[in-house]
Structure 1
């Protein structure tokens, strides 16, 4: 019907002049660079719920980390109180301790030899038991951690990443706190640190490439399906829009054609590809898919991903990828922070396949829940005692009155 893209554009513009609402509601499609293809963001309550469910756990983890990072792993309560805003703690530290018993012990000590004693916090025996469990889980999964670190380096443009940036994302991928000091030196065949440590100019560099690490989740999935079915499966994205989400015809056709492009592994050299090409879009989506797959929760805050724009060759408008490919990703705005999530990793609000390192989170949640149960039981006992006191007072008043 349309001999050229320009004739189709003219046709669409003609419709828009008679119907102003056309192309203004959900999707704007033009035969221009990929960045002009837009899909209106739509809330997914189930995936937002997955973030909300972890809110209390992450708050407790931040406070624990703050205390453990202090010299001697102790801190005056009043010092921690001053850091409430940075920790995003919306209650006093004393109230937090009351809500989450079992995390810390409190004791009095002097900040200076001649100063008055003040209240200090230190890790409880229960928390220290969890920290030993954390070490055990880390040791059992050391090969997984090494492979993740190698993969992050292999996807980068120069096969190296800033040490400071890696430290910033260690929790997202499940790296131990001391991975640069104790893990990296154990594997000189893979890693070396270059630059000037302590000046923000040190980098972790890949020494050698392990072919076993150079396969993405999507490629491994295609291989597994090929083996199980006996039919050679082509690597590609699992594209599934959420219920009720409908793309306009033009966008559906663009997505169909884009999915027909050959899959480009995030571990391939793409220096020959133009930044605005559909092929580069395919590779960029592949990198985001792999990064989210490697992360613990299959989700990463967008500002953290943005820190690696240069290393992974992301465009300045990279975050539009997550809404443009709504059948692959979800962009959550929960908590006022944009978070990129991998749709296929979730069933409703629950992770389908859990990273082995998530056992650490589960152990920590068990510790918290034990404290919460004890607090609930204590409150029940206090309520019962109050009720008995009130009954006694009422009975006594009746007796005296009689």
Structure 2
């Protein structure tokens, strides 16, 4: 795979300064994992939200705005459902409605409830607004700027689509609006592997969230300034003394922007680890919920050339990143973005997602059970069947 270096912002004197940094590494001490009940709840309350929105998008993309229940079996694998699609639909009667289609072929179908359709329509207004589309395009561009090649396979972008807040059909509806930002490309020698490439480097976007906040507090910053990461450890969490000393010295190392190429650093040095944390920190700020599945980060880290350094940084810096074991996976949460279980600054799209959560949590009313024939077998559906 050909690699193209990002614009080198570091000058020779600055590079030499970094090379002179001590090459010591993290102290030999165990940093224990301590549960954070608030952040666990922030993760757990969004259980099945991604699946709900994926199924919702599938339904509204159909000309009839419905899908036949007879095809539901394929959705369990496609959308990684925790149960059969029929049981999943039944679990959320405030979102999905199972009904009998009209004659001459009366078969059970699924559509959105009026409440869910209302939320969807309001969500579409946000997704189609010029402000939102510019915001999501800029965050996608910044993601590509974090790579040395300024490009990523579409498969990796798709795995992060929900976290970035990209429209489900972003390739057809969003990318054509920003030809000055993006172009579809081939990845390396494999003509069947497509990716997304940044057309030109965006100097106006090459400032990290941490740099912006530091400039707001200090009226500007100099290159090589020791910008510190916010550390927020849960109650009862204690670091060994030697770890606290190391952390203090590590925080005082110069901050290298994640939009600069610092792969000249010794990969095992503390300075390289601070750069790794800077890249991870900026990545988390690009996500609308300031969290993502750990596996997504590790796959991206491998592609970016960090190897195991992402995983090591998550273990070494529990005051910056929290790893939750809830909802059948491991989820990385950016601590500073949350106050207890709530986002400190809620992105506009997250407001809509919380409305879906509200619908999901509404209690089901008692409904008559009907026996319907699905895929040739009789199955009882615990949902009212109405005429379409």
Which residue is equivalent to 2:357? 365
Residue 326 of structure 1 is matched in structure 2 by 318
Query: Where does 1:1-400 land on structure 2 (aligned, <5 Å)?
Result: 33-34=25-26, 38-55=30-47, 57-68=49-60, 73-81=65-73, 83-84=75-76, 87-90=80-83, 93=86, 96-97=89-90, 99-108=92-101, 117-140=106-129, 141-195=132-186, 200-227=192-219, 235-316=227-308, 318-368=310-360, 372=362, 375-376=364-365
Report SS of the residue matched to 2:348: coil
- SS for the counterpart of 2:232 is coil
Distance apart, 1:33 and its partner CA: 4.7
State the shift of 1:248 in Å: 0.9
- Give the match for residue 385 of structure 1: none
What is the Cα deviation at residue 161 of structure 1? Answer: 0.8
Higher helix share: 1
Distance 1:326 1:298, change over 3 A: same
Q: How big is the shift at 1:62?
A: 4.3
- Matched-pair contact (CA < 8 Å) for 1:323–1:330: no
Deviation at 1:83, TM superposition (A): 4.0
Q: Specify the SS of the correspondent of 1:192.
A: strand
Runs of 4+ with >6 A deviation:
none
Q: Which residue of 1 aligns with 2:15?
A: none
Question: What do the CA deviations read for 1:339-362 (whole angstroms, capped 9, x no partner)?
Answer: 111111111111111112213313
Following the alignment from structure 1 to structure 2, what is the Cα–Cα distance between the partners of residues 330 and 367?
28
Give the deviation of 1:49 after TM superposition: 1.0
- TM-score computed with the length of structure 2 as normaliser: 0.77
Q: Structure 1 pair 107/321, CA: closer, same or farther in 2 (3 Å)?
A: same
* Pair 169,70 (structure 1): closer, same or farther in 2 beyond 3 Å: farther
- Listed one character per residue, the Cα deviations across residues 218-271 of structure 1 (whole Å, up to 9, x for unaligned) are 10110111249xxxx853211232221111111111111111100111101113
SS in 2 for 1:357: helix
Q: Is the 8 A contact 1:104 1:127 kept in 2?
A: no
Unaligned segments of structure 2, at least 5 residues: 1-22, 368-388
Q: Compute the TM-score of the two structures, normalised by the length of structure 1.
A: 0.74
CA contact under 8 A between 1:158 and 1:311: conserved in structure 2?
A: no
Q: How big is the shift at 1:331?
A: 1.1
Structure 1 residues 102, 349: CA separation in 2 closer, same or farther (over 3 Å shift)? closer
- CA 1:84–1:317 in structure 2 vs 1: closer, same or farther (change >3 Å)? same
Q: What is the number of residues matched between the two proteins?
A: 336
Distance 1:365 1:175, change over 3 A: same
Q: Distance in 2 between matches of 1:325 and 1:349?
A: 20
Compute the displacement of 1:305 (Å): 1.0
Higher RCO structure (Cα 8 Å, ≥6 apart) = 2
Query: Deviation at 1:125?
Result: 4.5
Structure 1 alignment gaps of length 5 or more: 1-30, 380-402
Residues 38 and 151 of structure 1, relative CA distance in 2, 3 Å threshold: farther
Partner of 1:8: none
Name the larger-Rg structure: 1
**Alpha-carbon separation, structure 2, partners of 1:83 and 1:139:** 27
